[in-house]
Structure 1
Amino acid sequence: MNESTEIINEILQSLGIDTAYRTDALTLLEKGESRYLRDLKLNLTSTLTSEHLNTKECALIGLATAINNNNSLLIQFFNRYAEEQGATPADTAEAAGCASLLASNNVFYRFRHFTQKEKYGQIPARIRMQLMMKPVTGKEFFELMSLAISAVNGCEMCVNAHEDSLIKLGATEERIFDAVRITSLVTATGKIVF
């Protein structure tokens, strides 16, 4: 067994996936004995902890990102990890709700931002957002998940609005940065394992 296969097996085992599992992307990395596999393994591991987020928060951001990206294997992994870190069913449901709500908001507000038409800014959005009003995970953390998902979905207006809200709520820039770092790495992992 070569080093690439060993690393892939370690990645799959850490995710709770049978080591025989392969995607086309994993096969390409394995056959090419890509050095990227080491990076992938370390990057995935670094999504699980943070100096600025607790492990439950890391898990919930990972879960919201996996749901946003429609990645079943990572949804299962981050849901298990969130539960192991003390997340309740209400917490994990909120991560799912956040991913769905932000999917609609990011499309809608990106449209408003792209068109730059004053008229579209005057028409009511008519998107229900009660989930944002009193989140079970707390206002600051819900904003953090919202920012992370908005970054993945590329909504500049939403990223700026959530970042501004977070600063006003007392979040540090390091905390914000780490949430986006985690969501970017979960997204990258999902390009290889899905």
Structure 2
Amino acid sequence: IDESEVLTVADEEAHVDKRKFKVPFVCGAYDLGQALRRINEGAAMIRTKGEAGTGNIVEAVRHIKLTKRQISELSRMADDELEKKALEYNVPVELVRETAKLQRLPVVWFAAGGIAGPADSALVMQLGVDGVFVGSGIFKSTDPPRMARAIVEATRHYDDPEAVLEACKNLPQPMKGIDIKTLKETEKLQIRDV
């Protein structure tokens, strides 16, 4: 289940207690504090909250880099500093300690929002996520099956430049991108569900 920021928020103060469900939840997070709060609520997967439907990957990249930087900072902290971070993030200190020890999120982490082609997919994989969510980037292209295959190949072989190049050849026309700078704050999906 995707506890999605794309949907209208029904409760602005509380998120679904995901531990009561037998199916896994994926939740959006644009920084480490959000990710750890969702994990503490029972999320099995975390995804970036890039600007969905735009074909503009900049926000997803920003969220990945910020979260990785925050995890790196945790890994250098003494235990008393980790306790302070746990209070700041409003999560159990054990979760903060585990994240610091692993030097990554303790659940699978996906990039989502703005991924419009194989190069985008390879980029976010190289930045350190475990996989990608793609919707509009496939279905708004002129040949969705071909675009999907190209994105899958680039994701699978993200660390092989020749394979990524091959995936980028003879692509269908991609989705028409939207410059997120032209969106009003109320139109941005990534800021919902904070």
More strand as a share of residues: 2
More helix as a share of residues: 1
Question: What is the TM-score normalised by the length of structure 2?
Answer: 0.28
Question: What is the TM-score normalised by the length of structure 1?
Answer: 0.28
